[in-house]
């Protein structure tokens, strides 16, 4: 296992004399993790049936194994006492029963938010966040789990702790699903169940789309997790070919698009893959998705003081989304280290919301959960990875201030497209 420079921090700093923000993430190859036995939760009923058949066992064993993995909360194959001992042993050798292990749990919001730092088989760490929302007028209790699809992220949004880490690797299907099995066991111990799953943890799901789709299929499957498609949300920073692929597949889940800005000069800075897929193309693809699936698009806007909360930006967003089948969530920026930015004040967010509503756009102001445990995406993993030097941080801050000031003047970024999302990048091909 070697510590290497993150693949995609070039989005920040190619032409700079300063080093890019620290090589904070251990980047093992996917090959190392693929050499381990596969995780049981990545197996489909068909692949498990084939394996059971090869071992000369009757087909009803498939159901027993799936129930043990997904329903009873068995912690190992050895616990499935309904199976003959030789089959239990063969299962334990052929599959990893759990590909994530909670190395650290942190509680906040009076226990209503629980952040888990999961250490994977190769030592890399990812996060999931479990949020409990008590029943309120007209709403049932919700237990929402936010999961990661990649370790780190190539997109490099400068207000996001995961973006600062750079790209580590794609998660395997079982690693995505085992975050869910872990949380499901924790909530079951409290007599509750998971009601919603959102792909809003670390990583860009549409750049690991094959595995994310396999994971969604398992979450939907009544023989496995059995959660309705309406209770699953996948959030993307705007990978246009991925959105088009989802449109061709039909409704699978709610699609959320991290918009953050409706003007290209500013979105180039806030979401660097905008330099590859400009905001008009992203919204056009999302619009086609809504038209084809009949499902409303959710747009996420992280509100940053004096950066994307101006009247100019509210008008641009209202103009862009007017008449769309869309819902906008305005979310005050969670504090993250190493940015010059803070959350917009509430009166400013209220004014922004009023502008959007005035254009007939459904808008909700959301409050971030778990700030004191670093519930911003990737924050806890970033803390574990260690801090960059003060000089690097100061340089990063100066650059972001200069870039957002240029964006306010309407100047497009001259920074390159981040390495992991440029032409030829996996998942990024048209």
Q: Which residues bind ligand SF4 (CB under 6 A)?
A: 153, 155-157, 160, 162-163, 203-204, 237, 258, 377
Which of ligand SAH, ligand SF4, none sits in contact with 333, Cβ below 5 to 8 A by type?
Answer: ligand SAH
Residue span 160-199 as binding mask against ligand SAH, x where in contact by CB under 6 A, dash where not: x---------------------------------------
Stretch of residues binding ligand SAH (CB under 6 A), selected from 112-120, 274-282, 329-337, 389-397: 329-337
Which partner from the list ligand SAH, ligand SF4, none does 156 bind, CB cut-off 5 to 8 Å by kind?
A: ligand SF4
d(CA 183, CA 116): 9
d(CA 184, CA 143): 10
Bridge partners of residue 127, in order along the sequence: 117
Q: Which is nearer to ligand SF4, 10 or 156 (CB)?
A: 156
Q: What is the dihedral of CA 301, 268, 151, 70, to 10 degrees?
A: 40
Print burial letters for 15-36: b (CB count within 10 Å at least 16), e (below 16): eeeeebbbbbbbbbeeeebeee
144 binds ligand SAH (CB under 6 A): no
280 contacts: CB under 8 Å, gap ≥ 6: 264, 320
Cβ pair 126, 151 in contact under 8 A: yes
- 302 touches ligand SAH (CB under 6 A): yes
Residue 184 binding result from ligand SF4, ligand SAH, none, given CB thresholds of 5 to 8 Å by partner type? none
376 binds ligand SAH (CB under 6 A): yes
Residue count of the chain? 430
Could you say which of 12, 146, 157, 377 is catalytic? Answer: 377
SS3 119: strand
Residue from the set 258, 363, 403, 404 that interacts with ligand SAH by CB under 6 A: 258
Q: Which does 300 bind (CB under 5 to 8 A by kind): ligand SF4, ligand SAH, none?
A: ligand SAH
Token reading at 272: 């660097």
Q: Which helix (H) or strand (E) holds 320?
A: helix 311-321
C-beta of 38 vs 335, nearer to ligand SF4? 335
Residue 376 contact, options ligand SF4, ligand SAH, none, Cβ 5-8 Å cut-off depending on partner type: ligand SAH
Q: How far is the CB of 36 from ligand SAH (least distance, A)?
A: 26
Minimum distance from residue 307 beta carbon to ligand SAH (Å)? 12
Chosen from ligand SF4, ligand SAH, none, partner binding at 331 (C-beta under 5 to 8 Å by type): ligand SAH
Of 121 and 272, the one with the shorter C-beta distance to ligand SF4 is: 272
Which of 114, 127, 164, 415 is the catalytic position? 127
Binding mask 38-77 for ligand SAH (x = CB under 6 A): ----------------------------------------
Euclidean distance between CA atoms 373 and 183, whole angstroms: 17
Which tokens sit at 90? 């063969």
End-to-end CA distance of the chain: 33
Q: Is 12 a catalytic residue?
A: no
Q: State the residue for tokens 């087909």.
A: 59
Mark whether 127 is an active-site residue.
Answer: yes
Minimum CB–partner distance for residue 196 and ligand SAH (Å): 14
Give catalytic residues, as residue numbers.
127, 377
User: Binding residues for ligand SAH, per CB under 6 A?
Assistant: 153, 159-160, 200, 204, 235-237, 258, 300, 302, 331, 333-334, 336, 368, 376-377
């Amino acid at each position: 296992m070697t510590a290497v420079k993150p693949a995609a921090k070039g989005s920040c700093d190619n032409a700079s004399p300063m080093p890019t923000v620290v090589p904070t993430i251990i980047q093992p190859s996917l090959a190392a993790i693929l050499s381990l036995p596969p995780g049981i939760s990545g197996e489909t009923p068909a692949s498990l049936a084939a394996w059971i058949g090869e071992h000369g066992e009757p087909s009803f064993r498939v159901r027993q194994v799936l129930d043990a993995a997904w329903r009873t909360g068995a912690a190992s194959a050895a616990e499935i006492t309904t199976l003959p001992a030789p089959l239990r042993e063969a299962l334990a050798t052929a599959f990893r029963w759990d590909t994530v292990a909670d190395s650290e749990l942190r509680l906040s919001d009076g226990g209503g938010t629980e952040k888990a730092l999961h250490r994977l088989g190769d030592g890399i760490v990812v996060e999931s966040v479990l949020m409990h929302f008590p029943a309120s007028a007209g709403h049932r209790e919700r237990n929402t789990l936010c999961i990661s699809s990649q370790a780190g992220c190539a997109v490099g949004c400068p207000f996001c702790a995961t973006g600062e880490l750079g790209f580590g690797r794609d998660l395997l299907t079982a690693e995505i699903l085992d975050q869910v099995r872990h949380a499901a066991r924790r909530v079951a111990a409290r007599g509750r169940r998971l009601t919603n799953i959102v792909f809003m943890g670390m990583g860009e799901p549409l750049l690991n789309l094959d595995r994310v789709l396999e994971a969604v299929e398992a979450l939907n499957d009544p023989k496995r997790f059995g959660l309705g498609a309406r209770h699953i949300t996948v959030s993307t920073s705007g990978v246009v070919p991925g959105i088009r692929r989802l449109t061709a597949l039909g409704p699978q889940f709610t699609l959320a698009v991290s918009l953050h800005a409706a003007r290209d000069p500013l979105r180039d800075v806030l979401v660097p893959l905008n330099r590859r897929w400009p905001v008009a193309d992203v919204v056009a693809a999302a619009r086609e998705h809504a038209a084809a699936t009949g499902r409303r698009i959710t747009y996420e806007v992280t509100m940053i003081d004096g950066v994307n909360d101006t009247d100019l930006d509210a008008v641009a967003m209202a103009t862009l989304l007017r008449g769309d089948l869309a819902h906008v969530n305005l979310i005050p920026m969670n504090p993250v280290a190493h940015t010059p930015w803070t959350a917009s004040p509430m009166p400013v967010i209220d004014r922004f919301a009023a502008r959007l509503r005035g254009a007939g756009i459904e808008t909700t102001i959301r409050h971030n959960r778990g700030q004191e445990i670093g519930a911003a995406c990737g924050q806890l993993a970033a803390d574990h990875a260690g801090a960059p030097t003060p000089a690097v941080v100061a340089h990063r801050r100066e650059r972001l201030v200069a870039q957002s000031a240029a964006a306010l003047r309407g100047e497009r970024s001259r920074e390159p497209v981040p390495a992991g999302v440029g032409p030829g990048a996996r998942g990024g091909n048209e």
